[in-house]
Amino acid sequence: MKTSNLVSKYNILFFIILIVLIAFPFVADSRTLTILLTQIFIFSILAMSYDILLGYTGIVSFGHAMFFGIGAYATAIMLNTFEATIPVFIGSILLGILLSALVSFFVGLLTLRLKSHFFAMLTLAISGLLLVVAEKWRTVTKGNDGFTFRAPDIFKDRIVFYFCVLACLVIVFLLLRRFVQSPLGRVLIAVRENEQRTRSLGFKTLHYKVISSVVAGVVASLAGSLYAVSLRFVNTSVMTIDITLDALLMTIIGGVGTLIGPIVGSVVIEFAQHYLSGLARDFPIFERWIIFFGIIYILAVVFFPKGIVGSIQQALTKWKMKRANNRTFALQKDKERSS
């Protein structure tokens, strides 16, 4: 009874936020803010996909940028070689997803049997390898210089693209929520909590970890495709460790192990990045805004390992328990008085 109540309360909140976001471009006529929000949505998708690995399955991957990059390059190259139309765009997203699924499947199969720190290093190395390939394979990727391409005409209007990305975000959010609440998602959480015990209960944990890595890779590739179209430009920076670090920071600061956390994290980080680099004109120290994030991130890992959303949830449950306790206490007192 109580949980269903809670869920519907959350749903109402989501609904309100969604309506605000839909109404936003019509109310506020700010081009910069629309672009910033689009960027936030794209990185929310990326951070959510990363959280499937980090928050739900408990694997640290340093190679997440490669899936983002695969998506970005698939879209950019296809839109560049064929006509820039919507069917080609959708086809390129599907191509990116297919490639990411294949890569993440084989990489996962090879690497996920290793211990956490080996896995982290190996993913770092493999994504480094892919970065080198992207830099050297100049006939296709144009290397570090990158290339511009034409986006489908309909996306010339920033607002249309805004809605397109928002729709993707909502769909991905709902699908991932369904995914983590499914029995399969439960097994992933069990793997995170205690892998050996899960294995001894008869689950083939490697299979589940591979599934998790494929899902994360596919979603990240979608984010990459959208990112490429939003810039109408692609170069090898989409594959660098910086992208992985962004996803990592957003997930940790927002809250691991929740799907809203990464979204909150990407809102906080993108906004802060935007405004802090604006402040840099007056205070040069803000040009290095990443220091503040690094410090906040370290503090978050030590003191608030659950991030913003997780800490709020924790505080809420504590507060509710306290209130419930007080109520029973008061009831007891009343009883004593009446007797």
Minimum CB–partner distance for residue 222 and other proteins (Å): 25
Given the complex with other proteins, which of 25 and 108 has the nearer CB atom? 108
Number of residues in contact with other proteins under rule CB under 8 A: 37
Site string for other proteins, 41-70 (x = CB under 8 A): -----------------x-x-x--------
Minimum CB–partner distance for residue 65 and other proteins (Å): 14
Instruction: Tell me, letter by letter, the H, E, C secondary structure of 129-172.
Output: HHHHHHHHCHHHHCHHHCEECCCCHHHHCHHHHHHHHHHHHHHH
Site string for other proteins, 259-288 (x = CB under 8 A): --------------------------x--x
Given the complex with other proteins, which of 62 and 155 has the nearer CB atom? 62
Surface-to-core class of residue 313, CB atoms within 10 Å of its CB (0-12 exposed, 13-18 middle, 19+ buried): middle
Minimum CB–partner distance for residue 311 and other proteins (Å): 16
Measure the CA dihedral 62/246/99/111, to 10°: 10
The first and second tokens of residue 250, run together, are 């957003």
Minimum CB–partner distance for residue 67 and other proteins (Å): 17
The 3-state DSSP class for residue 194 equals: coil
Q: Tell how far CA 128 is from the center of its chain.
A: 21
* Part in contact with other proteins (CB under 8 A); list of ranges 165-173, 204-212, 219-227, 241-249: 241-249
- The CA radius of gyration of the chain, in Å to the nearest whole number, is 22
CB 241 within 8 A of CB 62: yes
Minimum CB–partner distance for residue 217 and other proteins (Å): 18
Residue with tokens 């086809």: 91
Nearest Cα residue to 50 out of 307, 313, 317, 316: 307
Surface-to-core class of residue 196, CB atoms within 10 Å of its CB (0-12 exposed, 13-18 middle, 19+ buried): exposed
Surface-to-core class of residue 245, CB atoms within 10 Å of its CB (0-12 exposed, 13-18 middle, 19+ buried): middle
- Restricted to residues 104-143, the positions that interact with other proteins (CB under 8 A) are 110-111, 114-118, 120-122, 124-126, 128-129, 132-133, 136
Minimum CB–partner distance for residue 59 and other proteins (Å): 8
Q: Is 35 in the site for other proteins (CB under 8 A)?
A: no
Site string for other proteins, 291-320 (x = CB under 8 A): x-xxx-xx--xx--x---------------
Minimum CB–partner distance for residue 46 and other proteins (Å): 17
Tell me which amino acid residue 329 is: F
Residues of the shown chain interacting with other proteins in the complex, contacts defined by CB under 8 A: 58, 60, 62, 110-111, 114-118, 120-122, 124-126, 128-129, 132-133, 136, 241, 245, 248, 252, 285, 288, 290-291, 293-295, 297-298, 301-302, 305
